[in-house]
């Protein structure tokens, strides 16, 4: 096993930054390096010190003057919507019925699912995302395709079969027994196999009967180590419909609370219209609200109130939510997050953006011992970012005097062209996109 030394301007966070001056929240090495042995990081820091720890025949990947960071993390998106991104003109419920529930039916075909899974993983990697949490379709075949494609690339990925047994086309509905049997079988096969983690995934209250919610409760109780993901309080029509289906619940959050679905491994997409009581329930249970800015703007859903989450002490993470989200790029996502918060008079510092895409999201997943930073012993999932990749960026960068300014330019102007390299478990992945498994469409 040959040592690999990744040289560049190394940046990694150790804590949540409190503002643009919080230099204690990160470690930055202008001439830095990360030493990788096999799939793990052995050391990171100043180049000279780290080089002295490497074997004599070390391979050196010199990325100067690019930035070297932990791989980016996306905490919510939909793998079967890869080909439904940019579907025009509707808000949530109409958009689901018009586009998404049509597209997701194609995932009954394992060849189609495999083809899209391959493209999906490559798209994540070309945007610098090395770990993501995705919904698959209702078909177990889609979960097989998803985890196979992740395993082929060595990626740490979280996902699961969506549970839905009403308010969707017949071809996308399972039933309580089938959702229990299929999910249990998939957990047995995939959870903690290599770098895979399973997420029990009732889509949202609208598409699950009370009987299926009971099944979800059982699945969570029987598999406490698995993640749970669902959608909460994204759109006003959705909230009215969901609460009408569960008249005994005091509010939308209470629907999930009643079925035992809220805990510190629960990821709740959107959380836009929660009141203080609901956010307090999230804070008490440790459940994470997932901020999906490009999606919330694209569907006209509303604005995530980050300051209220912080004031009440509830956890939150950031995500693309492709295909309502309009980009696979976490950098573009943070650009839109900044604007969503601006509209509410809230501020997102560039340091906080980069913390959120890395260590912050790793903490939200309880995976910060493995991913999200460059500490010794962590997985060698690493991204290399070029702040001058586009002519307009190169021009703007000439005026830059600080790291914080550079990060803000990256967040505001970057796209996948700025991802100079991405390493998964120590392997350089750029330019290694797999050929499609089968024709698509
Ligand atoms: N709510 C339930 N399903 C979905 C979905 O696929 N996308 C979004 N944005 N919201 C949802
Ligand atoms: Zn979603």
Say yes or no to pLDDT of 195 above 90: yes
In tens, the pLDDT along 66-80 reads 999 999 999 999 999
Atom of ligand 1 nearest to the CA of 301: 9
For residue range 220-275, list pLDDT tens digits in order: 999 999 999 999 999 999 999 999 999 999 999 999 999 999 999 999 999 999 99
End-to-end Cα, the chain, rounded Å: 42
3-state helix, strand, coil in the chain (%, to 5): 40, 25, 35
Asked if domains 3-71+372-428 and 72-328 share a fold, the reply is: no
Of 141, 208, 135, 204, nearest in space to 173 by CA = 208
pLDDT digits (tens, 9 = 90+) for 39-58: 999 999 999 999 999 999 99
pLDDT tens per residue, range 366-425: 999 999 999 999 999 999 999 999 999 999 999 999 999 999 999 999 999 999 999 999
pLDDT of residue 435 exceeding 70? no
* Nearest C-alpha neighbor of 387 from the set 357, 419, 355: 419
- Tokens representing residue 303 in the block: 């604005």
Q: What is the spatial distance between Cα 221 and Cα 352, in angstroms, rounded to a whole number?
A: 35
Strand, coil or helix: what is 110?
Answer: helix
Band of the pLDDT at 292, cuts 50, 70, 90?
Answer: very high
Backbone angles phi, psi at 369, to 5 degrees: -75, -20
Q: Which of 84, 22, 133 is nearest to 362 (CA)?
A: 133
Nearest to 262 by CA among 310, 216, 319, 196: 216
**201 pLDDT exceeds 70?**
yes
Query: Where are the chain's structural domains?
Result: 3-71+372-428, 72-328
| Long-range contacts of the stretch 364-367 (C-beta < 8 A, 24+) | 364/75, 364/267, 364/288, 364/315, 364/316, 364/317, 365/73, 365/75, 365/131, 365/133, 365/158, 365/227, 365/317, 366/264, 366/265, 367/131, 367/156
Mean per-residue pLDDT of the chain: 97
Which protein residues touch ligand 1 with a CB less than 6 Å away? 78, 92, 96, 100, 203-204, 231, 234, 295, 321, 324
pLDDT over threshold 70, residue 437: no
Residue 267 contacts residue 229 (beta carbons within 8 Å): yes
Q: Is 75 helix (H, G, I), strand (E, B) or coil?
A: strand
Q: How far is CA 417 from CA 123, 202, 387, 404, in A?
A: 12, 35, 10, 20
Q: Which two three-digit tokens encode residue 246?
A: 């569960």
- Predicted confidence band of residue 441 (pLDDT cuts 50, 70, 90): low
pLDDT at position 110 is: 98
Mutate to test the pocket of ligand 1, among 229, 324, 326 (most ligand atoms within 8 A of CB): 324
Please tell me the predicted confidence (pLDDT) of residue 172. 98
- Per-residue pLDDT tens for 107-157? 999 999 999 999 999 999 999 999 999 999 999 999 999 999 999 999 999
The whole-number pLDDT of residue 436 equals 61
What share of the chain has pLDDT > 90, as a percent?
97
Predicted local distance difference test score (pLDDT) of residue 432: 78
Q: pLDDT tens for residues 243-258?
A: 999 999 999 999 999 9
Q: Which CATH code for domain 3-71+372-428?
A: 2.30.40.10
Which pair of tokens denotes residue 291?
């901020």
Residue 194 CB neighbours (<10 A) = 13
For residue 11, the tally of other CB atoms under 10 A from its CB is 22
CA-to-CA distance for 407 and 418, rounded, in angstroms?
Answer: 12
Residue-wise DSSP of 173-214? ---HHHHHHHHHHHHHHHTTSTTEEEEEEE--GGGS-HHHHH
Task: Please check the confidence at residue 85 and state whether its pLDDT lies above 60.
Answer: yes
CA 117 to chain centre: 16
pLDDT range class, residue 434, cuts 50, 70, 90: low
Residue 433 clears pLDDT 80, i.e. is over it: no
DSSP letters, 299-314, are TT-----HHHHHHHT-
Closest protein CA for atom 3 of ligand 1: 203
The yes-or-no verdict on residue 440 having pLDDT over 70 is: no
Residue 344's DSSP bridge partners are none
Instruction: Using the atom order of ligand 1, give the atom closest to the CA of residue 238.
Output: 1
CA pair distance 242, 134, nearest whole angstrom: 22
The neighbouring-strand residues paired with 199 are 227
Ligand 1 pocket, mutate which of 74, 76, 78 (most atoms under 8 A from CB): 78
Q: In angstroms, what is the span from residue 76 Cα to ligand 2's centroid?
A: 6
Nearest CA, atom 8, ligand 1: 324
Give distance in angstroms: CA of 361 to centre of ligand 2: 16
Nearest CA, atom 9, ligand 1: 324
**Ligand nearest to the Cα of 74, by number:** 2
pLDDT at 210 over 70: yes
Helix H or strand E encompassing 288: strand 288-291
Among residues 122, 75, 120, the alpha carbon closest in space to that of 287 is found at 75
- Asked if pLDDT for residue 81 goes beyond 80, the answer is yes
Distance of CA 321 from the midpoint of ligand 1 (Å) = 8
* β pairing state of 59-70 and 382-385: antiparallel
Q: Given the cut 0.90, state whether the ipTM is greater than it.
A: yes
pLDDT in tens, 1-19: 889 999 999 999 999 999 9
- 200 C-alpha to ligand 2 centroid (Å): 14
Å from CA of 132 to ligand 1 middle? 16
Phi-psi sector, 192: left (phi>0), alpha (psi -120 to 50), beta:
left
Classify domain 72-328 by CATH architecture. Answer: Alpha-Beta Barrel (3.20)
264 touches 366 (CB < 8 A) = yes
> What is the CA 313 to chain-centroid distance, rounded?
21
CA–centroid distance, residue 231 to ligand 2 (Å): 6
Angstrom distance (rounded) from CA 355 to CA 343: 22
User: Given the CA of residue 269, which atom of ligand 1 is nearest to it?
Assistant: 10
The reported pLDDT for the residue numbered 1 is 80
Indicate which atom in ligand 1 lies nearest the CA of residue 324: 9
Interatomic CA distance for residues 71 and 294, integer angstroms = 20
pLDDT tens-digit profile of 149-193?
A: 999 999 999 999 999 999 999 999 999 999 999 999 999 999 999
CA-135 nearest atom, ligand 1: 6
pLDDT of residue 341: 98
Whole-structure pTM value: 0.98
**Closest residue CA from atom 1 of ligand 1:** 231
């Amino acid at each position: 096993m040959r040592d690999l030394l990744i040289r560049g301007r190394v940046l990694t966070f150790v804590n949540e930054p409190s503002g643009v001056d919080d230099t204690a929240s990160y470690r930055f090495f202008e001439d830095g390096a990360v030493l990788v042995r096999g799939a793990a990081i052995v050391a990171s820091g100043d180049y000279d010190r780290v080089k002295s720890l490497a074997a004599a025949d070390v391979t050196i990947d010199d990325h100067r003057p690019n930035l070297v960071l932990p791989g980016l993390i996306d905490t919510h998106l939909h793998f079967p919507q890869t080909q439904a991104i940019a579907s025009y003109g509707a808000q949530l419920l109409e958009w689901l019925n018009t586009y998404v529930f049509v597209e997701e039916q194609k995932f009954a075909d394992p060849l189609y699912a495999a083809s899209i899974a391959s493209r999906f993983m490559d798209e994540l990697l070309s945007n610098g995302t090395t770990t993501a949490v995705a919904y698959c379709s209702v078909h177990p075949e889609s979960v097989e395709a998803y985890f196979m494609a992740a395993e082929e690339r060595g990626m740490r990925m979280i996902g699961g079969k969506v549970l839905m047994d009403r308010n969707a086309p017949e071809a996308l509905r399972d039933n309580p027994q089938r959702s229990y049997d299929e999910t249990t079988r998939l957990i047995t096969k995939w959870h903690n196999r290599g770098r895979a983690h399973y997420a029990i995934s009732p889509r949202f209250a609208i598409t699950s009967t009370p009987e299926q919610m009971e099944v979800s409760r059982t699945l969570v109780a029987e598999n406490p180590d698995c993640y749970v993901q669902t959608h909460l309080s994204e759109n006003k029509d959705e909230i009215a419909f969901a609460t009408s289906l569960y008249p005994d619940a005091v509010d939308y959050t209470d629907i999930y609370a009643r079925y035992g679905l809220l805990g510190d491994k629960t990821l709740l997409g959107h959380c836009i219209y929660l009141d203080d009581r609901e956010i307090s329930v999230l804070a008490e249970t440790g459940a994470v609200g997932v901020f999906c800015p490009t999606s919330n703007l694209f569907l006209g859903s509303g604005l995530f109130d980050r300051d209220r989450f912080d004031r009440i002490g509830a956890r939150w993470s950031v995500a693309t939510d492709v295909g309502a989200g309009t980009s696979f790029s976490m950098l573009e996502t943070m650009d839109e997050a900044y604007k969503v918060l601006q509209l509410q008079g809230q501020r997102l510092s560039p340091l906080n953006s980069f913390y959120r895409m890395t260590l912050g999201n790793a903490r939200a997943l309880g995976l910060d011992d493995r991913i999200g930073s460059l500490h010794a012993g962590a997985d060698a999932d690493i991204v290399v970012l070029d702040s001058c990749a586009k002519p307009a960026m190169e021009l703007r960068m000439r005026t830059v005097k600080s790291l914080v300014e550079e990060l803000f330019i990256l967040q505001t102007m970057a796209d996948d062209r700025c991802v100079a390299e991405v390493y998964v478990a120590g392997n350089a992945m750029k330019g290694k996109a797999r050929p499609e498994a089968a024709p698509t469409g």
